[in-house]
């Protein structure tokens, strides 16, 4: 897809969500600074690692677990916190386990209960990643609190990105890859460049209400990020949206592609040729296709940061796309339908 010109200025914005997207790289820097300063457990000390959260932070867990396994070669799994509470027998084993619990608020009921149960059973250590120093951090053996990621909005943007940067640095450091953590220092500058260069592109796509369905494709360490981009589109815009692995999209879901469909690909370097072929095929079916990646895409990062730790760069443009669509539909992106910032249940 040809990128629209970026010389027109975005409209004046008064929503919290907009500011939280625009200013998120400050929270990325803090996440990296905090995570670098901590004494972390070593991957060799655990047979298994579980990442858990709810909603956005479950999708973050999907992304983090695949990254952890890629970097360390050790088994890792992402599980919704609610499943750890209700069906722990399908998740936990006798293996010594490290639990990484992710929660923006630090007060999400399912996550609190899952961590409390895990500790009561003496399953292993707990690492918490959050934006608030709340009850969940009090249960942690090690707590990473990124207060610059705090938000007024219900839908997570800056918070998610900041916690994902922390999780990525955690994975890299546990793998003994300080070189990757060093490279991550360039993320804020790269993120600001992507936001400035492609905001108009995101606005043009988001404001086009002829589109009535969005599909976000990502494989490997990018699948969880595709899930999160899909969730932002659903929450903020009330639009039909789904995430898929690239090659899986051919197995049935492609039947939904038409001229009103947008197919977004989170492109990788390792499998870029296969992924580009999927997008090209969806274009021949009438869909509007766009790719994000380091180079040779509609949104080019040009970051020179290793692929394993630059995943956060996919997020801002897709967040802005959902934001602008929400505004174009006359919705309030700060307060999506039926949602609250924290889900609290009687468990």
For the cut 80, the answer to whether the pLDDT of residue 300 exceeds it is: yes
For the cut 60, the answer to whether the pLDDT of residue 344 exceeds it is: no
Average pLDDT over residues 227-241: 97
CA distance 200 to 228: 21
Token code pair at residue 6: 């970026």
For tokens 């990788």, the residue is: 268
Helix axes 56-72, 158-174, angle to 10 degrees: 20
CA distance 296 to 278: 15
CA distance 257 to 283: 9
pLDDT tens digits, one per residue of 164-198:
999 999 999 999 999 999 999 999 999 999 999 99
Number of residues assigned to the chain: 347
CA distance 188 to 185: 7
Token code pair at residue 11: 């409209």
For the cut 80, the answer to whether the pLDDT of residue 200 exceeds it is: yes
Provide the residue ranges of all domains of the chain, joining segments of one domain with +.
18-184, 186-328
Give the pLDDT of residue 5.
40
CA distance 116 to 106: 13
Give the residue from 221, 230, 222 showing the smallest Cα distance to 253: 230
Give the pLDDT of residue 340.
58
18-184 and 186-328, same CATH topology: yes
- How remote is the C-alpha of 201 from its chain's centroid? 20
% pLDDT > 70, the chain? 93
% pLDDT > 90, the chain? 87
Give the pLDDT of residue 335.
84
What is the average pLDDT value for the chain, to the nearest integer?
Answer: 93
CA terminus-to-terminus distance, the chain: 48
Would you place residue 46 in the very low, low, confident or very high pLDDT band (cuts 50, 70, 90)? confident
CA distance 309 to 177: 11
List phi, psi (to 5°) of 137.
-60, -30
pLDDT tens digits, one per residue of 134-147:
999 999 999 999 99
Q: What stretches of 38-147 show up as alpha helix (H) in DSSP?
A: 56-72, 81-86, 109-120, 135-138
CA distances from residue 230 to 96, 234, 309, 322 in whole angstroms, order as listed: 34, 6, 21, 9
CA distance 213 to 333: 18
CA distance 229 to 208: 17
Considering the segment(s) 18-184 as one domain, its CATH architecture is 3-Layer(aba) Sandwich (3.40)
Average pLDDT over residues 226-239: 97
Give the pLDDT of residue 343.
55
CATH superfamily of 186-328: Glucose-6-phosphate isomerase like protein; domain 1 (3.40.50.10490)
For the cut 70, the answer to whether the pLDDT of residue 250 exceeds it is: yes
For the cut 80, the answer to whether the pLDDT of residue 347 exceeds it is: no
For the cut 50, the answer to whether the pLDDT of residue 42 exceeds it is: yes
Q: What stretches of 87-221 show up as alpha helix (H) in DSSP?
A: 109-120, 135-138, 158-174, 178-184, 187-206
Would you place residue 43 in the very low, low, confident or very high pLDDT band (cuts 50, 70, 90)? confident
Sign of CA dihedral 129, 130, 134, 135: negative
Give the pLDDT of residue 13.
62
CA distances from residue 156 to 27, 219, 312, 319, 333 in whole angstroms, order as listed: 13, 22, 14, 9, 11
């Amino acid at each position: 897809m040809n990128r629209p010109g970026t010389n027109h200025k975005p409209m004046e914005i008064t929503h919290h969500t907009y500011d939280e997207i625009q200013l998120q790289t400050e929270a990325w820097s803090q996440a990296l600074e905090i995570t670098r300063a901590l004494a972390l457990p070593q991957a060799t000390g655990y047979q298994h690692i579980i990442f858990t959260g709810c909603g956005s932070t479950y999708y973050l867990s999907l992304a983090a677990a695949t990254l952890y396994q890629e970097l360390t070669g050790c088994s890792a799994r992402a599980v919704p916190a609610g499943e750890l509470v209700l069906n722990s027998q399908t998740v936990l084993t006798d293996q010594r386990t490290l639990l990484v619990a992710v929660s923006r608020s630090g007060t999400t009921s399912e996550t609190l209960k899952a961590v409390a149960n895990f500790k009561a059973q003496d399953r292993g250590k707990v690492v918490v990643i959050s934006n608030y120093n709340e009850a969940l951090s009090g249960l942690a053996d090690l707590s990473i609190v990124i207060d610059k990621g705090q938000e007024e909005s219900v839908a997570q943007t800056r918070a998610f990105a900041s916690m994902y940067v922390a999780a990525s640095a955690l994975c890299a450091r546990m793998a003994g890859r300080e070189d990757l953590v060093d490279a991550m220092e360039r993320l804020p500058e790269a993120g600001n460049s992507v936001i400035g260069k492609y905001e108009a592109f995101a606005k043009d796509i988001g404001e086009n209400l002829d589109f009535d369905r969005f599909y976000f494709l990502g494989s490997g360490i990018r699948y969880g990020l595709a899930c999160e981009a899909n969730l932002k589109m659903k929450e903020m815009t009330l639009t039909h949206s789904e995430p898929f692995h690239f090659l899986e999209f051919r197995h049935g879901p492609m039947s939904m592609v038409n001229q009103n469909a947008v197919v977004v690909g989170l492109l990788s370097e390792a499998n870029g040729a296969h992924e580009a072929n999927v997008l090209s095929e969806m274009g021949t079916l009438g869909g509007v296709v766009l790719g994000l990646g380091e180079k040779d895409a509609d949104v080019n990062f040009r970051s020179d940061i290793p692929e394993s730790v630059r995943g956060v760069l996919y997020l801002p443009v897709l967040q802005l796309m959902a934001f602008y669509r929400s505004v174009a539909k006359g919705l309030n992106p700060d307060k999506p339908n039926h949602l609250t910032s924290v889900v609290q249940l009687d468990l």
